[in-house]
Structure 1
Amino acid sequence: MSRSAHRVETFGTTIFTEINALAQEHQALNLGQGKPDFDTPPAILAVFAQALQAGNLNQYAPGPGTVSLRQAVADHAARFYQLSIDPARGVIVTSGATEGIFAAILGLVDPGDEVIVIEPFYDSYVPNILMANATPVFVPLHPPTWTFDPAELRAAFSSRTRLLILNTPHNPTGRVFSPQELSLIADLCQEHDVIVLADEVYEHLTFGQTRYTPIATLPGMFERTITVSSAGKVFSATGWKIGWVYGPPDLVDAAGRAHQFITFAVHHPTQEAVAYALNQPDSFYQEFKAMYERKLDLLSAALEGTGLQYQRPEGTYFIMADFSALSNQTPMEFTRHLISKIGVACIPPETFYSAQHAHIGAKYVRFSFCKHDETLLQVKERLSQLQR
């Protein structure tokens, strides 16, 4: 009888597909998946249109990425983090950060290795680890401050640990790990000879006085850090699926060996537009942060007085909200209630945890605020029904 391969037997439909369908069915305001409901800046779209019509960019791009985009990624790392990246050997362009993460795991992790995963986690991490026949080892962040226990982190390391996945600013909690937390992670990785896979797709989304520090900039960490980011968040272009991996050539080469047999190359004209976008002036990045500060304020105002409790995020465009004062339901049950009765969609974080730690997020749901201001004002009206 036909059946699926064992490696995918435990993989169900992603929660994002399920929630998007429910939101559409009930015509709910969708604060679930982290995709903006507004478009990419016009100047960047204009460069994309020009590249599309140039007549010489509609065939395969170079497998590692176009020269212009790899140079732009290296220039960006130098400009913001004072990192010296070789654009020819230290950068590959991937089909979004998700493919970059998968390529890095396949290229760096052997069967039987252990990979440390901080919970709650982006939902591709664990399936990627399992498809590499490796073992995830989980370290939870503890609410409401979403910090890890140093003893639990130390205990996660063993002689089999090969990789630690670090996502900061952190999806879904909005934490930006402090220099002290990063130093502890760095010390443990150096002590145990562990590589860090740094997922920094929200690198430009921090609030107030919070600053993002790449772990690759810490002493002794550049040579053991492979960094993944993308154009999707900062340029409101999640549909373009342009990401990149950068770091020391030996680690990037490992990811590249896998990448060439996953997608080989990614969309050629879009790479030219993203190369232009990365070179935007400082004012672009400042205005981007200011826009999201305003949207954060709007969603915070929508949550006030509803009974939903939350910690103001330090970064990303997500808020984790505790609904325990309102309901004894599971996160999925409460999410269905919000969608069908209140008309607002969110994401239950149950699939962002291992079975042993799922109880930690058992009274939380995640809202995204990468939406039009008008949408967030409508959300406030609808959420006000929770206390009626």
Structure 2
Amino acid sequence: MRNFASLKAKQFTESVIREMSRVAAAHGAINLAQGFPDFPAPQELKEAAQRAIFADHNQYAITWGSKPLRDAIVWKTQRDYGVTWNPETQLTVVCGSTEGMIATLLATINPGEEVIVFEPFYENYGADVVLCGATPRYVTLKAPDFSFDFEELAATFNEKTRAIIINTPNNPTGKVFNKKELEFIAELCQRYDALAITDEIYEHILYDDAKHEPIWTLPGMEERTVVINSVSKTYSVTGWRIGFVAASAELTASIRKVHDFLTVGAAAPLQMAVAEAVRFEPQYYEELASFYRERRDYLLKVLQEVGLGCVRPQGAYYIMADIRPMGWDDDVACAFHLAEKIGVAVVPGSSFYRPEQPDSHTFIRFCFCKKMETLEAAAERLRQWRKK
């Protein structure tokens, strides 16, 4: 019998991040691999979901999102960035940022075109580009500050470039792109008539006076940027799968068509609940950043004490750690050793790089979106690793 797997599917693997969660469960390891909190979501948000269910918001919402949620997103965007989107023509509520990204790429990218991706990258990006029949072109973010070479990026743009994907604050590095970098990217997008597709899911998780600068607020970028976001990280509800995509009316019309046939729509009662959360006061976001800053600083200290070479993140809730000071040169072997023998699950850094990238096997990624008791238990196991 012939092999019925498609040529596209053969070009990438299943998620390594999710695989490491399965490995953690199999070995009873503390899961510092997959980025989901192990603490409760906000009480107000859970109560809002209950109210929505008992108010019978249990049937299909409008496929591109319930009006209360779209209106709330518009309100928050105006408050935070001074930009007003049209909720009827510029917003699409999707099943998490994961669906938002693939829906956007399928709606805007043609086979044979190229999409620029910064590496290390969130693992879905490369696979999504392949599923569109396009070619990913990679530009490396270089440790220790994960900056990029302006000349390298400029040389990567060409007449086939359809879009560039920007994730800021960045997973897995914690890098926050600064205004100078974004202005350079914006100029290239306009010169080559390319889209900027920006994943801003960690917009409120920032440290050390880092500032989130949306590229769509820069001159000339509003009409050529697609904004992808989600409530998963900001409100600690990664299992709800509620996200949104914002773009020009023309791009939104295309994205909505793809979204409709991918998923029909996101969960109706959860949309109603999220509409309330989106209107939380600024204090909520300040406390969120402070909450994660404490955990970042704690885990950084532990990892440095153990002997790993750590990169201090400016945002998001991950730490990339260099394994070479501990005598390792194989990130996959190191990750499985930690899960199986030490009892701490992490993600091998190579899952965020092209296979041929020289730096791809020198990092492992830790996440710290956990209770302090979880991180303290992991710290004790890691210290035992150091002793051994």
Tell me which residue corresponds to 1:211.
211
Structure 2 Cα separation of the partners of residues 295 and 191 of structure 1: 42
User: 1:330-359, CA deviations, whole angstroms, 9 ceiling, x for partnerless residues?
Assistant: 1110001111222111101212112332x2
* Match status 1:367 vs 2:366: yes
* 1:145–1:311 Cα contact (<8 Å) kept: yes
Distance 1:283 1:305 in 2: 33
Check whether the contact 1:31–1:345 (CA below 8 A) recurs between aligned residues: yes
Q: CA deviation at 1:21?
A: 1.7
Cα distance between partner residues in 2 of 1:356 and 1:346: 21
Deviation at 1:84, TM superposition (A): 1.5
Give the distance between the partners of 2:302 and 2:328, measured in 1 at CA. Answer: 22
The letter for the 2-side match of 1:387 is R
Report the CA distance between 1:318 and its aligned residue.
0.3
* Cα deviation 1:235-261 (Å, max 9, x = unaligned): 000000000001221122221121111
Q: Give TM-score scaled by structure 1 length.
A: 0.97
Match of 2:17 in 1: 16
Distance 2:153 2:329 in 1: 31
Counterpart residue identity of residue 29, structure 1: I
CA distances 1:42-99 after superposition (whole Å, capped 9, x unpaired): 11100000101112x1111101100011111111211111111001111000000000
Q: Which residue of 2 aligns with 1:377?
A: 376
- Letter paired with 2:328: N
Within-5 A mapping of 1:179-190: 179-190=179-190
CA distance in structure 1 between the aligned counterparts of 2:205 and 2:218, rounded to whole angstroms:
21
Contact 1:231–1:237 (Cα < 8 Å) also in 2: yes
Q: Which residue of 1 aligns with 2:346?
A: 346
| Residue type at the aligned position of 1:27 | G
Aligned partner letter, 2:70: R
Aligned to 1:275: 275
Matched, 1:224 2:238: no
Letter of the 2:376 counterpart:
L
Asked if 1:54 corresponds to 2:55, the answer is yes
Q: Secondary structure at the residue paired with 1:304?
A: helix
Aligned-pair CA distance for 1:361: 2.8
1:385: Cα distance to partner?
1.9
Q: Structure 1 residue 106: deviation in Å?
A: 0.5
> What is residue 38 of structure 2 aligned with on the other side?
37
Query: Any unmatched runs of 5+ in structure 2?
Result: none
Count of paired positions: 386
The answer on whether the counterparts of 1:175 and 1:315 sit within 8 Å (CA) in structure 2 is yes
For 2:310, the equivalent position in structure 1 comes to 310
**2-structure distance, mates of 1:155, 1:253:** 32
Shift of the alpha carbon at 1:304? 2.6
CA contact (8 A) 1:29 1:375 kept: yes
Write the deviation string for residues 282-326 of structure 1: whole angstroms up to 9, x where unpaired: 111111111111111221122131110112100000000001011
Deviations 1:104-147 (A, max 9, x none): 00010111111000101111111111111111111010111111
Corresponding residue for residue 332 of structure 1:
332
In the TM superposition, residue 16 of structure 1 has moved relative to its aligned partner by 2.1
Shift of 1:9: 2.1
Q: Secondary structure at the match of 1:350?
A: helix
Q: What secondary structure does 1:262 align onto?
A: helix
1:1-388 maps to which residues of 2 (within 5 A)?
1-2=1-2, 3-55=4-56, 57-357=57-357, 359-388=358-387
Contact in 1 for aligned 2:304/2:310 (Cα 8 Å): no
CA distance in 2, matches of 1:75, 1:47: 19
Instruction: Output the CA distance in 2 between the equivalents of 1:54 and 1:328.
Output: 56
Distance 1:354 1:323 in 2: 18
CA distance, structure 1, for counterparts of residue 68 and residue 58 of structure 2: 16
* C-alpha contact (below 8 Å) 1:26/1:339 kept by paired residues: yes
* 1:253-277 deviation line (CA, Å, top 9, x unaligned): 2211211110111100000011100
TM-score by length of 2: 0.97
Query: What is the percentage of aligned positions where both structures have the same residue?
Result: 39
CA contact (8 A) 1:162 1:195 kept: yes
List structure 1 segments (4+ residues) > 4 angstroms apart after TM superposition.
none
Paired amino acid for 2:344: V
Give me the whole-angstrom Cα distance separating, in 1, the residues matched to 2:328 and 2:39: 35
Q: Does the Cα contact within 8 Å between 1:307 and 1:386 map onto a contact in 2?
A: no
* CA RMSD in angstroms, aligned pairs only: 1.1
